[in-house]
Amino acid sequence: MSEQIILVPRISSLPEHEARAGLLLRWLVRRDIVAALPSTCGALGNGMAHAIAAGARAIAERPERLPFEQPLNGLQIVSKRCIYTPSEDFLEEAGCPECRQEIGEALFDSLDEWMPGDTDNFTCPECGHEDDINGFLFLQPCAFSNLGLVFNGWGPAGLRQAFVDELAERLGYPLAQVRVKR
């Protein structure tokens, strides 16, 4: 079993998300964190990903646990609208930042409208507060966006907060860090 770390901007529709994905990939390649050319080291879709590179040691909390010798060790960039939640024991709990009421069931039911892009927003059924769905409070890390950076097999190593912060600054939005076991 492999554990992914997925970094997701906390905005449903990141402007120019495909162009930004390309810029991020070039930045990661320049820093020798991932390889420039894709290979079959990913877990999603056709399995093509950008393999881990030596510079990944500088951004990992526990570099000795990086998946250098594992078949699934690459970065995959997802540039379509997706729901990112933990794969185990996800509680589907959410709260309103305005009234602080539990609204998880209604919020997760609304994903049928969010997923096809009918809306980016959710309205609290308790107080009427409306915001991007990512603006609500979640007890477990999750996010909803048209961009996701999937680090296959990097879960045990973790990512240094300074790297996550730098990536968030480059995107202009805070990031959620979601862990998924495959």
Q: What is the mean pLDDT of the chain?
A: 95
User: Over the stretch 153-178, which tens digit does the pLDDT of each residue have?
Assistant: 999 999 999 999 999 999 999 999 99
* 80 is a domain residue: no
Domain enclosing residue 109, as ranges: 94-138
User: Over the stretch 28-43, which tens digit does the pLDDT of each residue have?
Assistant: 999 999 999 999 999 9
Please compute the mean of the pLDDT values over residues 100-126 and round it to a whole number: 95
* 65 is a domain residue: yes
Q: 173 and 156: one domain?
A: yes
Q: How many domains does the chain have?
A: 2
Q: 126 and 152: one domain?
A: no
Reduced to 3 DSSP states, what percent helix, strand and coil does the chain have, rounded to the nearest 5? 25, 30, 45
Spatial distance between the Cα atoms of 59 and 67, rounded to a whole number of angstroms: 14
Amino acid at position 53, single letter: A
b/e per residue, 114-126, with b = 16+ CB within 10 A? beeeeebebbbee
Give the pLDDT score at 151. Answer: 98
Q: 60 and 9: one domain?
A: yes
Give the pLDDT score at 88. Answer: 84
Reported pTM:
0.95
Q: 25 and 107: one domain?
A: no
Q: 45 and 99: one domain?
A: no
Q: 31 and 69: one domain?
A: yes
Q: 133 and 159: one domain?
A: no
